[in-house]
A and B are shown apart, each in its own frame.
Chain A
């Protein structure tokens, strides 16, 4: 089938690439810019396992190409994906209005599949702008760091659609990824949008709950890791999303949760629980700062802090809503110089903050630790799990480790001569 995918998000790229890999003819459309240039040069702006290779194969095979946003879709195009950032909702509306004109008079049924995390009810509004075809909603469930895998082997496909012909078309588009069993759950568009938000809200709630518990554990002298194992062993609860840490970030989790809050707030109802969940998370992003502040008796001016990991999670180079952003602001405000290492996210940091004296980007972890009064682990990249503690203690000015993801063994770290702070232990 001929497909068009609109947007410059990870979801747009993965959708276009994976669809092309199953034999669809795909045009990926975005505004001119870094994303478009990278794509035309055969490269991916998003670092995801397997994505670059798959993308190159599709481009070489001629099943995927880049196109401008305002170019009319080919006459044989039947399905159009919308995968925009939440903030780009006006762009999505423009695209759809233009499509309504460009596709007026076409007789073959067509479907617009909205994957963007717009507020609940948006898909129905988009349908009003596009009378020549159907608009359905298919929330994305990509896991950053495993985006391609989670697309080609979906755990579920929440389809918000109240039109049988459109549903048939969507099922045909996704047939290659829906073989083993039927993953489609079909409901009204508004319900699918809300279900997506409720899922992310629930995950965020679990994390903030554990962070809340971790802060209690801190004052009670309890190791939250033992508690986490105990809680996770209850089958009614399960083990996922129970890790305490220095806060969650990313365009997926926090952005979706926030949009749910906004939707409810605008209606005058508001979710008290989710408001708290977000507040706890924002506070949690400064948990390591607070421990450092206390450790150095509130005198941080002139100190040097090494940070390992800036990406909001391992496997991605993105720093949207990442804890490091709040951490940097807090440290800088006290006159601290920060030396950061991250295998993927340094370009994003450079772009956000530009050159400044109190931010030193290091392309090697031990380089970041040199002369530091503290080492903070913020993102649990695999390469950080087993550091050379002996080397660290030689190059650091003071042997102090703040483990924002509880990946180290406190006893071993202390034995190696370090002062250790974790989250809730």
Chain B
């Protein structure tokens, strides 16, 4: 039993308070932090020691992590239930079509895949350039001023998160081009947005890998009707105002999307791993293709690092091992994502999907029930705002929670901020100070406070809540790419340790099917045998 030795180790360590561990070893930070590219990972506030990492590394070996990494990068069918490879990393391999770049570049993917990926990126670049130049025309010949991305899940969270995170890198355009996101099935976002936009100057991107997602297709149909009401029933309206990103080319064609407006992705990319493909188009429209390629370069850097670095220097592997330690050996099942930078506002939602949709599984690759716990419950918010919301529970609640504190060291020195830089730098320093203070207080508890202060129980901080701090030099396309790829590989490595498949999502399929029947029952009053609760609620709705 591969966990056995670790359990003994954990029993010893779980008696220790983080404050003691820090007091014992002044070199704790030196021993337990790693610098990789633009990132710094600090594990010293985790309830573990160097010895723990040695033992966890052995667990990685026992679980054949090496073999699984090799299989993933070889393009093997690591997604066993859907019989597919998982090659999101191939979306960010360098362009080797011209011989100068090819020399010395690590050959991660076969040439035909690399060429296909870069041909698609070039098509994206053409679209991005035309939009940014103010030369994408609507049906009436007007310049497109607003782009609306219609997508949900991976076709929404990734591009939305990146667009917001890299807003300082937005390219100014003559027409002040804006990018919007619509995802919700109930139409509330789309109806709100369409009230503000002009049909003549609005372009929609229908983003759906399968092109069967009802949420997206309903929103797209609403958008098309909005356009044809204003512009008339002309096939050119769809031609001028719709782009599609999908792997289902025939469905896209049937919907009426012009050939030059279709972008593709491949079966070997999962939705929640797809922001690096044409699914990232909304972000690319915001920041321009050169910046988008820097994002890919940052992720590629992490791919190579993940493939090559020994476990105890390997950032994604260390993140995975730490997570497994907390979940399976310390018994902590809550994990909070706390970016101390408002630009990372959507990172918690993005990681919620990445981690919980990937590793929220209870069946092993062999089809047996798992014997260990898997993905913890993730949630989060921009740190300083969360301090006024759920930090109370972190500090004084009964639940143990681990946290990822995420922050850039430098901010507000970019050209866009010249006028107000002084004040804003001050605000960033304040946020950083809060980031460090909160993780310190969570870890040390009262030991973080000046000595000799006696307090009533209700004011006490027990501490010992473990956290990871992930810092970057600054938030740039490159560092963001590196960080996101690190989380992707962390998720994969954890799945290997838990012996589950992180690339399928059967748990979200059945609900969609049942909803179809329920819709019929709701619309046509068809009586289908349902449970008493559903029937009661249906009856209530029908009477309104």
A residues at B contact (CB < 8 Å): 286, 289-294, 297-298, 329-330, 333-334
B137 touches which one: A291, A293, A297, A329 (CB < 8 A)?
A293
Give min CB distance, A207 to chain B, whole Å: 21
Task: Map CB proximity to A onto B119-131 as digits: 1 under 8 Å, 0 otherwise.
Answer: 0000000000010
Task: Evaluate contact between A298 and B239: CB separation under 8 angstroms.
Answer: yes
Task: Evaluate contact between A333 and B140: CB separation under 8 angstroms.
Answer: no
Query: In the complex, A297 Cα to B237 Cα: how many Å?
Result: 10
* B263 is an interface residue with CB less than 8 A from chain A: no
Task: Evaluate contact between A294 and B133: CB separation under 8 angstroms.
Answer: no
* B5 is an interface residue with CB less than 8 A from chain A: no
Give min CB distance, B250 to chain A, whole Å: 24
Of A291, A292, A333, chain B has the most CB atoms within 10 Å of the CB of A333
Chain A's interface: helix, strand, loop or mixed, by majority?
Answer: helix
Task: Map CB proximity to A onto B97-110 as digits: 1 under 8 Å, 0 otherwise.
Answer: 00000000000000
Task: Evaluate contact between B135 and A290: CB separation under 8 angstroms.
Answer: no
Query: In the complex, A293 Cα to B135 Cα: how many Å?
Result: 12
Chain A residue numbers with a CB within 8 Å of B240 are: 298
Task: Evaluate contact between B130 and A333: CB separation under 8 angstroms.
Answer: yes
Task: Evaluate contact between B139 and A333: CB separation under 8 angstroms.
Answer: no
Task: Evaluate contact between B141 and A293: CB separation under 8 angstroms.
Answer: yes
Chain A residue numbers with a CB within 8 Å of B137 are: 293, 298, 334
Task: Evaluate contact between B141 and A286: CB separation under 8 angstroms.
Answer: yes
B135 touches which one: A292, A294, A298, A333 (CB < 8 A)?
A333
Task: Evaluate contact between A330 and B135: CB separation under 8 angstroms.
Answer: yes
Give min CB distance, B136 to chain A, whole Å: 8
**B residues 231-277 in Cβ contact with A at 8 Å:** 236, 239-240
Give min CB distance, A258 to chain B, whole Å: 14
Asked, given contacts A298-B236, A298-B240, A329-B135, whether A290 binds B130 with beta carbons under 8 Å apart, the answer is no
Asked, given contacts A329-B135, A330-B135, A333-B133, whether A297 binds B236 with beta carbons under 8 Å apart, the answer is yes
15 sample A-B contacts, Cβ–Cβ < 8 Å, listed by A number: A286-B143, A290-B140, A290-B141, A290-B142, A293-B140, A293-B141, A294-B140, A294-B141, A297-B236, A298-B236, A298-B239, A298-B240, A333-B133, A334-B135, A334-B137
Give min CB distance, B133 to chain A, whole Å: 7
Query: In the complex, A54 Cα to B354 Cα: how many Å?
Result: 78
Chain A residue numbers with a CB within 8 Å of B143 are: 286
Residue on A nearest B136 in the bound complex, by CB = A333
Query: In the complex, A286 Cα to B138 Cα: how many Å?
Result: 13
Count residues of B near A (Cβ-Cβ below 8 Å): 12
Given A294-B141, A329-B133, 7 new contacts (CB under 8 A): A286-B141, A286-B143, A290-B142, A292-B141, A293-B137, A293-B141, A298-B139
Give min CB distance, A281 to chain B, whole Å: 14
Chain A residue numbers with a CB within 8 Å of B139 are: 298
Chain B residue numbers with a CB within 8 Å of A292 are: 141
Chain A residue numbers with a CB within 8 Å of B141 are: 286, 289-294, 298
Query: In the complex, A48 Cα to B367 Cα: how many Å?
Result: 88
Residue on A nearest B133 in the bound complex, by CB = A333
Chain B residue numbers with a CB within 8 Å of A330 are: 135
Chain A residue numbers with a CB within 8 Å of B133 are: 329, 333
Task: Map CB proximity to A onto B134-153 as digits: 1 under 8 Å, 0 otherwise.
Answer: 01010111110000000000
Chain A residue numbers with a CB within 8 Å of B130 are: 333
Report, nearest first, the 6 A-B pairs whose CB atoms are least far apart.
Answer: A290-B141, A333-B135, A293-B141, A298-B236, A298-B240, A297-B236
Chain B residue numbers with a CB within 8 Å of A334 are: 135, 137
Query: In the complex, A334 Cα to B135 Cα: how many Å?
Result: 8
Residue on A nearest B260 in the bound complex, by CB = A301
Give min CB distance, B344 to chain A, whole Å: 32
Chain B residue numbers with a CB within 8 Å of A297 are: 236
Chain B residue numbers with a CB within 8 Å of A289 are: 141
Give min CB distance, B223 to chain A, whole Å: 18
**B residues 312-365 in Cβ contact with A at 8 Å:** none
Give min CB distance, B203 to chain A, whole Å: 13
Give min CB distance, A291 to chain B, whole Å: 8
Query: In the complex, A333 Cα to B239 Cα: how many Å?
Result: 17
Give min CB distance, A70 to chain B, whole Å: 34
Query: In the complex, A293 Cα to B139 Cα: how many Å?
Result: 8
Residue on B nearest A301 in the bound complex, by CB = B260
Of A293, A297, A298, A334, chain B has the most CB atoms within 10 Å of the CB of A298
Give min CB distance, B34 to chain A, whole Å: 48
Residue on B nearest A293 in the bound complex, by CB = B141
Of B141, B143, B239, B240, chain A has the most CB atoms within 10 Å of the CB of B141
Query: In the complex, A413 Cα to B91 Cα: how many Å?
Result: 57
Query: In the complex, A329 Cα to B133 Cα: how many Å?
Result: 9
